[in-house]
A and B are shown apart, each in its own frame.
Chain A
Amino acid sequence: MGRRVSLFVTCMVDQLFPQVGMAMADVLERAGCQVDFPEDQTCCGQPAFNSGYRNEARTVARHFLNTFEASEAVVVPSGSCTAMIVHHFAELFHKEPETLARVHALEKRVWEFSTFLTQVAGVEDVGACLERVVTFHDGCHGLRELGVKDAPRRLLAHVRGLELREMTPAEECCGFGGTFAVKFSELSGAMARTKIDAIQRTGASTVVSADPSCLMQIQGALTRAGSDIGTLHLAEVLASR
């Protein structure tokens, strides 16, 4: 294969969950990709965009464009950041036709991690092995904006020793929502508790997701509730041997 892939790890993974980025790089290499890390990367600008600060979001988006324009493919371990780039960047530049054209060109080359593996690299078995009973949380942006639903499950199905149990109700928001989690903390907490109730009912020992922000919310709520259920990013599961 030898496909060339640039990592956009996201600001959250870079600073708080570096092991997710390392795991993603491992898995991509195992899938035959040549991986690089454009050092100027920082953030996709979603926090500003979601808070209503479009000028500031635009500034950050421009920096992203400059950093990644030369990449053949960009892989992102987050559904929400990917959705920001491929769906919302265009909204920021409707008054700048030239930049908009650059955005549209780059959009096609930016991929959420599980989608990249299954659809672009054409890989479902990455040789992973993890004896665990897990449940999978679908991050809302990935699910509803990008259609990420089957891809993670197909990848998990090939992890030796792994048992996947679906939660009921499924597809419900964990309550993170970016600054929502702190602006409406009581409400966010209530949503998190409903989510961890569903998780606990599965009997799984670990929650897996393709979105680090959801994992931060869910793990934070689990720990606060005194549960010893852990969380792992999909990349970490797939990197396990």
Chain B
Amino acid sequence: MSRDNVLHKIRTALGRGAGQAAPDPPAARIRIPLVSMDARVASMLERVRALAGEAVATDDARAFVAEAIAGKTALASNAPLLAECGITSLPGVRSGITDREELRELCAAVDVGITSADYALADTGTLVMLASPQEARMISLLPPAHIAVVPRERILTGLDELFSLLPNPAESTSSMVLITGPSRTADIEQILVRGVHGPGLLSVVVVV
């Protein structure tokens, strides 16, 4: 609409010409600390729990999830990891949905959404999820509970390491979401309430 108008005003104000190159920006600040895998796992569990999420490190993700969803309905993403762990074959778990409308209806109806995570960030207890044919956005968003299964090797030290590995997430996905704890608000009288729009219950299963 007003592209030329706005850009022209900017250039005039800055004393720059159209197409004028810009000097290089200050170097990006990326500092990756050296943290052992064991320490990362421990930090991840501690941080998630500090945010009132549930967190476990286990070699039997299936057993944990089975107990967590007992008596409940669940929808799992199409991540190969979930099938490998035997989660998609659990009773009460649906998966393999690829239609957007069907997915949304199910997400709005089930008790639990089960997903994998591409990465985790140990220093903040964060899950990193990239949208893909295997991972839809809604599964970690609409149901009131979210269980995320992540292999321990995927636990990074923090944001610096993430953006060092993925300097341009837009190349692979339309949506990368960093999830740090259950949904919350303190908008009314600064009193904390969980599960406002996103899931109020979050469980992180680190597969060791």
Q: Do chains A and B touch in the complex (CB under 8 A)?
A: no
Partner-B contacts on A (CB < 8 A): none
- Contact residues of B with A, CB < 8 Å? none
